Amino acid sequence: MTDVATIFRDHYGAEPEGLWAAPGRVNLIGEHTDYNDGFVLPFALPERVIAAAGRADAGWAVCSDLQGEPVSFDDPGEPGTVTGWAAYVAGVVWALRDAGYEPPPARIALTSDVPLGAGVSSSAALESAVLTALIDLGGLDIPAHERPALAQRGENVYVGAPTGIMDQSASIRCEAGRALFLDCRSQEVEQIPFDVAAEGLAVLVVNSNAPHRHVDGEYGARRKSCEEAARLLGVPALRDVSTDGLDQTLKQLDDEVMRRRVRHVVTEDQRVLDTVALLRSGRIREIGPLMTASHASMREDFEITVAEVDVAVEAALMAGAYGARMTGGGFGGCILALIDADRADAIASAIAEAYAKHGFTAPTPFVAVPSKGATRL
């Protein structure tokens, strides 16, 4: 990763006042549950966005060694005014202001080793790094639990992507060696011990490298369908639908596709709760079947997987993973597999072989270590 202080100096001819970092994430379990007021269990990756930043006289300037041209703006303006990658930065400034805070004018240089377009939240990492830097530089008094919603609002309203609150919560609130059990309704968290290495285990993440297809439109469509189902069922959100008597409940919905969408969300919330219960009592290996069931639910009921991720999950399981599932919004991205640590190479090879057989672009494997959330360096 490039030395971001050097980028700052080269670009602005001054020293940054500090460095701030915010990580990407994978989600252990709980997919498409966040915007249904449900439960998620992500952990932060060691890969992160680093921002070098310093206060300025007026306006905001951002440059990066990864993205296009440097961008500066005097004012974020109405949502949509700043476009392209800098919209994520302008969105943070806008959201802070909209919430009544005064973010300080600033110059920012960014670098990142979070893989782009892999479904591990490179954009939430960027938002969280910028948000943390601006909060510190401006001495703004905003407790950690209120920060993810600000970054999310920037993304939802300013950038226009209808995502939930998981990614920003993970990037800001995760702790090393833990998974973040988040109740997306109350925003309450519990840091769940997830020291896989101590058990001789590892989480193997494999980027499917599948081209993202229709991600934005399909995500929005799933979200709409869930909200419509909640309305038809007369509950505030699908989180309020019980797994008890679920088949009966589903009969109230005429649409067969909608019934399956609801079944995914309701059973997925339960799988998160079951996973947390197992982890609380140190039974890490036993979460494997829940991960695999989550994948089946995403494939059959929520219909957000693609051939590349299905093949990767299948190959990981055949090669001895305890459980495997796609992680993130879907239609490509990464899978994660819970494995014996000494099987990482063998399982990664098995997935690569399966890919070769199917004629898919080679996948990219890496072992994910639960890491800490946004911080000043």
> Would you please indicate which residues are annotated as catalytic (active-site) residues?
167
List the x/- string, 140-179, binding to ligand GLA by CB under 6 A: -----------------------xx-xx------------
Given the DSSP bridges, would you call strands 106-112 and 60-64 parallel, antiparallel or unpaired? parallel
25: left (phi over 0), alpha (psi -120 to 50) or beta: beta
* Longest pairwise C-alpha distance within the chain: 66
Confirm or reject binding of residue 328 to ligand GLA (CB under 6 A): yes
Query: What distance in Å separates the CA atoms of residue 338 and residue 344, rounded to the nearest whole number?
Result: 10
The window from 29-37, 44-52, 202-210, 293-301 that contacts ligand GLA (CB under 6 A) reads 29-37
CB of 176 to ligand GLA, least distance (A): 21
The window from 27-35, 93-101, 225-233, 252-260 that contacts ligand GLA (CB under 6 A) reads 27-35
List the x/- string, 101-120, binding to ligand GLA by CB under 6 A: --------------------
CB of 268 to ligand GLA, least distance (A): 9
Nearer to ligand GLA, 56 or 157 (CB): 157
Structure-token match 């300037």, residue found: 61
CB of 32 to ligand GLA, least distance (A): 5
- DSSP per residue over 304-370, as a string? ---HHHHHHHHHHHHTT-SEEEEESSSSSSEEEEEEEGGGHHHHHHHHHHHHHHHTPPPPEEEEE--
23 forms beta bridges with: 48
- Give the CA radius of gyration of the chain: 21
Q: How many residues bind ligand GLA (CB under 6 A)?
A: 11
CB of 218 to ligand GLA, least distance (A): 11
62 forms beta bridges with: 71, 108
Q: Which residues bind ligand GLA (CB under 6 A)?
A: 27, 31-32, 34-35, 163-164, 166-167, 328-329
